[in-house]
Structure 1
Amino acid sequence: MNDHLAPALKDRRYLFTSWPWRAAGHLATVLLFAVPLAFVFWLTMLPWLIAGQRLIAGNHLGLIVFLFMALGLGLIGTVGPVVALPLAAIARRCLRLIDGRPLAAPRHPANAHPRDILFAESTWRAVLYGVVLSLVTPPLMVLGGALLALQVTLLVSPWLAEWTLGDVVINGGPGSVPFMLLGIVLIPAGLYLAGALAAAHGALSRKLLGNSGDALRNQLGEVAQSRARLADAFDAERRRIERDLHDGAQHRLTSLTLHLGMARLDVPADSPAAAPLTQAHDQAKELMVVLRDLVHGIRPQTLGDLGLPAALWELAASSPVPVAVDAAELLDRLPERIETTAYFVAAEALTNVAKHAHATSVQIRLTRSGHEGLVLEIQDDGRGGADPAHGSGLTGLADRVAAVDGKLLLASPAGGPTLLRVEL
């Protein structure tokens, strides 16, 4: 089954379906708002028509004509967008008669300023739709009215005493029966012509009144904001887990380790319980180290207390590859989301260097960009050839950076060096 009029016109059974009547109903509905719209538009453009006529005649334009011309443009530029938005909504509803495909209306953020809506691309596309409709309605009405009058005349010609076809005067009665038959034959052509006109209007409506580029940009902006909120929620959950482990599990494990150590002092060395107790104490101390590393991996306390440079220096001290940190420009704190992202990007990058790069040294540089911007550069002297497709963690880094609307750039030629630049 056809879901819109254009392919239905190609169907041989078109005349025996509901599409001709739906096309006619669509055109009649469009005329209800196209006629008054065209009347107001041409009334506004009347000074321009007068100016064109005077220029063709070789006459000068007076000041009054210029004023009315400017007034007409001003009305279109100010009142046009206000009228175009409800007009577009009505046109999209009328389109349902001949097109069953969904036509998404342009969306604007809930807190959008009226000025943003006024200057949106979708608004001026609706204005353009109204202008085109106003331009073509009068000539199409004249042409359609003439064809309809001719069709009716042909059909009722046998009952007319006398009628004219151009300069030819034709008597009614039996002599006009061939003209009546011609009128009957032309009915399908008229239905096809009306269907083609309705399909053309449907295509125009779908082209100009659909989901335009600015609405798509708004939706992408909403997606980016949603992604940022998810990243914030993830970081908040990370902080909660780190706090619960640090204040809960780690505290209890420390207490358990102390009690085991005190118990070892009270148990004689030759006692049967001495060896198991010593083993339990050693395992508890090892578990404390594991838990401390786990808490530090979730969110280092240094990052929250002392800031990003201190956290990077601590990270560099634990790296198996010598790391130099240059953060001379970073004297104050940055937004928490930026600092957290930069830290974990640096941590993952150093892990990649240790695993894959075969480097002997790494440099980390932090520089400011604007008021709240940060540029993080990590460079190693390894073998290069880093490729996100090889599972080196670069894709995860790019996703993390993109979640805070940042940018990740990588230069890693074969043979090195590798430079990872993150702009936040």
Structure 2
Amino acid sequence: MRPRTAWQAMAQRPLRFLTSGWPWRSLGYLVTGVVVGAAATAVLVTGLVAGLSLLIVLVGVAPLVGVVLASIPVAAVERRRMRLVDLDVMPNPHRALDGVGLRARVRTRLAEQATWRELSFTLISAAALWWLDLLVLAFCFALPCFIFAALEDPATWPWAVFGAFVLLASPYTVTSWAGARAALTRTFLAPRGDELGESLREVQASRVRLIDSFDAERVRIERDLHDGAQQRLVSLGMTLGVMRLDIPEGSALAAQLTAAEEQLSAAHRELRDLIRGLNPPVLADHGLVAAVQDHASRFPVPVTVDLQLPGRLPRQLETNVYYLINEAMTNIARHSGARSAKVHGRYHSDLLVLEITDDGHGGADPDSGSGLTGLADRLTALEGRMRVSSPAGGPTLLHVEIPCHFG
């Protein structure tokens, strides 16, 4: 899978990481962080000093309001800078203005929680973050240069080794701090659920309704196949059995009838497996663990199932989780070339954690339009998330987290 963050790039391929662009992107992130942080600090200090100095005559309110609003462009710059080390775009959390003009802008922005979070981040950045950026850069580059320049006595060679080690490790040091800084920035600046807008919430609700309608349609198809096509195949088998009573043994027609019965039996088995896959009775009767074990017992790739749950999930969630695991296993059979697989699941703190692994050739990429796209869509409707680790040559790990509560 193509890494989306500097941390992922460093963790997935630590050696190839050195020849990629991620260390340079992380370095650029910290260097620009120093520049932006210093500029933001100058603006904040100037505004605060002016505002507090003039507050006694009430004129200072305007500079203080300006300090609050100045955090908005600072946050906008931070969101753009984050693209250096985190490719997932953060939407703008601010809503449309309630009117026109400066007064409407000030009134709208001061009423938003996002503005105050951005102010908090700007203050933290001015007080600490850009200083830490500068400290990391100084440790990685200025310190080794200082050590090398100060070396005159051959007896001080251990310091040269230390300086060389610091310099060689600098890509990992810089990227580690850049990833931590980006994660902190996302915590403050990413929009909250109530700021995504009514349209996005409706998209989420419509996706849930769509998946629910698919599940209902699947149950209807299973019922129609069971009551219709399957019964007709049974009836046809009985008719062929009656015909055999009137046909002499060993005749050519008897041989053709035997072939027809074999084909009918195969079709009946395939239809029965299809019906079981559409709406497995074991899922309704015995729950998720038994249903996954039953599916794994008939799977073409040997699968080890290690699911431990404290009870039964809500029926709708249980069905969705079953088909999510089913779809992940189908991807393994179709695309991985694996010789074995494992389904591991535990429940921790209102979170169902699943890990589905295989020893195939790897290279699974959610961005390539593979079967992982369907899994991602189903998880989005369940408010879950997934991570995929699939280096070339394998193995592949699908890590899934789904919020849930047991009754």
TM score, norm. by length of structure 2: 0.50
Letter of the structure 2 residue corresponding to residue 367 of structure 1: R
Letter of the structure 1 residue corresponding to residue 234 of structure 2: T
Q: CA deviation at 1:349?
A: 2.1
Specify the alignment match of 2:267 in structure 1. 287
Out of 354, 375, 384, the residue aligned to residue 406 of structure 1 is: 384
- Mapping of residues 12-411 of structure 1, within 5 Å: 201-202=100-101, 205=104, 214=194, 216-271=196-251, 273-328=253-308, 330-371=309-350, 373-411=351-389
Contact map agreement 2:304 2:342 (CA 8 A) in 1: yes
CA distance in 1 between counterparts of 2:360 and 2:264 reads: 39
Specify every segment of 5 or more residues in structure 2 that has no aligned partner in the other structure, as ranges: 1-54, 59-93, 113-190, 403-407
After superposition, give the CA deviation of every residue in 1:151-172 in whole Å (9 maximum; x if it has no partner): xxxxxxxxxxxxxxxxxxxxxx
Specify every segment of 5 or more residues in structure 1 that has no aligned partner in the other structure, as ranges: 1-50, 55-120, 130-200
Letter of the structure 1 residue corresponding to residue 386 of structure 2: L
Task: Give the direction of change, closer, same or farther, for the CA distance of 1:272–1:321 in structure 2 (3 Å limit).
Answer: closer
After superposition, give the CA deviation of every residue in 1:175-229 in whole Å (9 maximum; x if it has no partner): xxxxxxxxxxxxxxxxxxxxxxxxxx5465478669x885643332232122112
The secondary structure found in structure 2 opposite 1:400 is helix
The secondary structure found in structure 2 opposite 1:392 is coil
The secondary structure found in structure 2 opposite 1:305 is helix
CA distance in 1 between counterparts of 2:246 and 2:108 reads: 85
Contact map agreement 1:363 1:380 (CA 8 A) in 2: yes
Letter of the structure 2 residue corresponding to residue 376 of structure 1: L
Task: Give the direction of change, closer, same or farther, for the CA distance of 1:305–1:206 in structure 2 (3 Å limit).
Answer: same
Contact map agreement 2:310 2:347 (CA 8 A) in 1: no
The secondary structure found in structure 1 opposite 2:399 is strand
CA distance in 2 between counterparts of 1:207 and 1:289 reads: 70
The secondary structure found in structure 2 opposite 1:375 is strand
Specify the alignment match of 2:399 in structure 1. 421
CA distance in 2 between counterparts of 1:295 and 1:206 reads: 59
Q: CA deviation at 1:272?
A: 5.6
Structure with larger Rg: 1
Letter of the structure 2 residue corresponding to residue 326 of structure 1: D
Larger deviation, residues 398-407 vs 274-283: 274-283
Specify the alignment match of 1:6 in structure 2. none
The secondary structure found in structure 2 opposite 1:321 is coil
Contact map agreement 1:231 1:404 (CA 8 A) in 2: no
Percent identity of paired positions between Structure 1 and Structure 2: 50
Specify the alignment match of 2:6 in structure 1. none
Q: CA deviation at 1:391?
A: 4.4
Task: Give the direction of change, closer, same or farther, for the CA distance of 1:53–1:422 in structure 2 (3 Å limit).
Answer: closer
The secondary structure found in structure 2 opposite 1:415 is coil
After TM superposition, where is structure 1 displaced by more than 6 Å over at least 4 residues in a row? none
Contact map agreement 1:224 1:405 (CA 8 A) in 2: no
CA distance in 1 between counterparts of 2:381 and 2:353 reads: 16
Letter of the structure 1 residue corresponding to residue 381 of structure 2: A
Task: Give the direction of change, closer, same or farther, for the CA distance of 1:215–1:376 in structure 2 (3 Å limit).
Answer: closer
Letter of the structure 2 residue corresponding to residue 362 of structure 1: A
Aligned residues: 232
Letter of the structure 1 residue corresponding to residue 197 of structure 2: R
The secondary structure found in structure 2 opposite 1:310 is helix
Letter of the structure 2 residue corresponding to residue 377 of structure 1: E
Q: CA deviation at 1:395?
A: 1.3
Contact map agreement 2:303 2:340 (CA 8 A) in 1: yes
The secondary structure found in structure 2 opposite 1:267 is coil
CA distance in 2 between counterparts of 1:122 and 1:391 reads: 33
- Which fold has the larger relative contact order, with Cα–Cα distance below 8 Å and residues 6 or more apart in sequence? 2
Letter of the structure 1 residue corresponding to residue 272 of structure 2: R
CA distance in 1 between counterparts of 2:239 and 2:356 reads: 45
